[in-house]
Structure 1
Amino acid sequence: MIDMKISVVLTSYNHEKYIEQAIESILRQKINCALEIVVGDDCSTDKTPIIIEKYKEKHPDTFIILRDSSNLGLTKNLQRCFRACSGDYVAVCEGDDYWIDDNKLALQLEFLESSRNCSMCFNKVRTLYNNQFGIYAGQNDLSDKEFSIHDLIGFNFIGNFSACFYRKKAVDKINPRIYDYLTYDWFFNMAVAEEGNIGYIDREMSVYRVHEGGLWSKVSYEDQLMLIIKNIDQYNLFFESKYEKDFLGQKNKLYLLLFKNSIKDKRAGKTISYGAKFFGGRVRFMLK
């Protein structure tokens, strides 16, 4: 055993159908160091807490169960989980996802131990939708092994928390104001990337389950894009406009998608609106 610890953050909310698969995939990890599993169940109303407690009884020294009397929401739940972690490194597995490589943590640990300039790394993500497997679309053309915050702002090629592995020191350095926002993986990983590059392991090691009960997947495509655009303005404020041109470029890409989609759907009003925002954004981008 090496003198090191990995913390795994397991977040859940009404995941009784999936939580056992997530936990078993964590317990199967082959690592040569200490492991703790920090569970943040956000007041599930189904059998998720009962299932978690059963694993705690079997592995009392491994599981740390965080309890609260009220629902915290995605962001505050993450915050309390990260605070409770005592490891040198932190991985995340969301309760409706799971890992498919028993060496995931070992490989990610090896990567960061040998790449001191990286603050985090992630793996290729397999998606599961309607019992069909695929690869996360944002990773189809990835060829580099390291990326910067500028790359990530331009496109969310990570796509899912359950693929991520962080240096705990990098997580601790993030401005705590980030937890006052609705913080999805894209925004959080930008903040971590301020502390170092993002490493990529081109190997399928986790599954991102897309289902109707998911926080993101239940939102329509157009509403997803509009929410991202709205969030980008908040992200730019958080980073104090340091990456304003990068964010503006990303907003233009999203407005172009909305513009093209409205043409396809023959919605003239939306076409005019999105078109004006896209072309106006291009002008502002060129003047930056």
Structure 2
Amino acid sequence: MIWKYQIYLKFKLLNIMDVSICITTYKHEKYIKECLESIFSQEFNGEYEIIICNDNSPDNTEAIIHEIITTHPKGSKVKYYKNTPNLGYVKNTLYSFSKASGKYISILDGDDYWINPLKLQKQYDFLETNPDFSGVGTDSKVIYEELSKPSHNFSNHLDQELTKDNLTDLNICQTSTFFFRKNILKPDFPKDIISADRCLYLLAGCYGKIKVLPEQMSTYRQFGASISKNVTYDMMKKDFEIVPFIKKYNSDYKSSKLKSYFYYTLMTYSNVITKFNFYKAATGYFFNNVLSKFSLNPIKLYLAIKWSKHTINQKYQIKVENNSFI
């Protein structure tokens, strides 16, 4: 126990935080106070800092943050930065990481908030006692800000331990629940991409497993005008830069599986797309998905081909129903 206390003192003398909570914000005047209050209400026995990177919001987001810093009893925990001009979501996220001094980083988007006061403590304790894990997420509550749709849970992987073999699955955990070891970050993390969260999860898989705790510990606000709802084909195809980046740090990732994953997202999430580009993405998905699951067993090969064709047809029909083709 003496050596643990000595290490603890060393960290304090070096001013090394246990956790850096990184918040990116843009036009969040309606939500940023609730976001910060959910952090201040955490029951955490370690030291944390709050890194806020405001991407040049044109509203009152900055004024609200300054008021909280100067009036809230825990306002001194906030380190505030403003980008002029704005950087964009991915670059702003990476900028917030660069300002973090914590052993761990916890992400929270400025329009979300935590709903479990033990979130930080549970995730911190988990990584402290499980060195073979590089990150830990939780379930989250999806709420619709502009629609009368009922809320629901986000993750499809509750209470699971995920490895690089299944980190290309969908709905692993929402960004505002993710807590990870800062030392997994790399200086060449791709900046000209859309899906920083997907890249981060895959990078974490290079260095360990990811645990998804079953409790809902954060909200995830959905907006009709959010970036994720308005991406184009040309925007989404930038995510292919992630493939060589991930392969650089763990060559055990199968290239065909990574490419299949990003062709799937290109085919699925591009809400402005021509039929020609849809079929290009579908062809890439089909080829790489079958290749990643290739087997000399004829039944398994048949099922891989059948499922790939089914997925393409399903996504095509969704595009037709949503009038996504141009």
Q: What TM-score does the superposition give when structure 1 sets the normalisation length?
A: 0.81
Change (3 A) 1:286 1:151: closer
Task: List runs of 5+ in structure 2 lacking aligned partners.
Answer: 9-16, 296-326
Match among 157, 162, 178 for residue 176 of structure 2: 162
Change (3 A) 1:282 1:148: closer
* Structural mapping, 1:1-288, within 5 Å: 3=8, 5-58=18-71, 59-129=74-144, 130=147, 132-136=150-154, 139-140=155-156, 142=157, 145-158=160-173, 160-170=174-184, 174-182=185-193, 183-219=195-231, 223=232, 228=236, 230-240=237-247, 242=251, 243=253, 244-251=255-262, 253=264, 276-281=283-288, 284-285=291-292
How far is 1:273 from its partner? Answer: 5.8
Task: For CA contacts below 8 A with separation 6 or more, give which structure has more relative contact order.
Answer: 1
SS at match of 1:187: helix
Change (3 A) 1:284 1:47: same
How far is 1:210 from its partner? Answer: 0.5
SS at match of 2:59: coil
Deviation by residue 1:113-146 (Cα, 9 ceiling, x = unmatched):
121111110001110112531111xx23x25531
How far is 1:234 from its partner? Answer: 1.7
| Alpha-carbon distance between aligned partners in 2 of 1:210 and 1:18, rounded to the nearest angstrom | 13
- Residue identity opposite 1:73 in structure 2: G
Task: List runs of 5+ in structure 1 lacking aligned partners.
Answer: 259-266
How high is the sequence identity, in percent, across the aligned residues? 25
SS at match of 1:149: coil
| Alpha-carbon distance between aligned partners in 1 of 2:209 and 2:169, rounded to the nearest angstrom | 15
Change (3 A) 1:162 1:274: closer
| Alpha-carbon distance between aligned partners in 2 of 1:268 and 1:61, rounded to the nearest angstrom | 53
- Residue identity opposite 1:202 in structure 2: P
Change (3 A) 1:282 1:94: closer
| Alpha-carbon distance between aligned partners in 2 of 1:7 and 1:104, rounded to the nearest angstrom | 14
| Alpha-carbon distance between aligned partners in 1 of 2:94 and 2:218, rounded to the nearest angstrom | 22
| Alpha-carbon distance between aligned partners in 2 of 1:64 and 1:151, rounded to the nearest angstrom | 36
How far is 1:6 from its partner? Answer: 1.7
- Residue identity opposite 1:45 in structure 2: P
CA RMSD of aligned residues (A): 3.0
Change (3 A) 1:272 1:97: closer
Rg (Cα) greater in structure: 2
Q: How many aligned residue pairs are there?
A: 268
How far is 1:20 from its partner? Answer: 1.1
Alpha carbons 2:257, 2:288 under 8 Å: kept: no
SS at match of 1:151: coil
Alpha carbons 1:255, 1:277 under 8 Å: kept: no
| Alpha-carbon distance between aligned partners in 1 of 2:243 and 2:291, rounded to the nearest angstrom | 15
Change (3 A) 1:279 1:121: closer
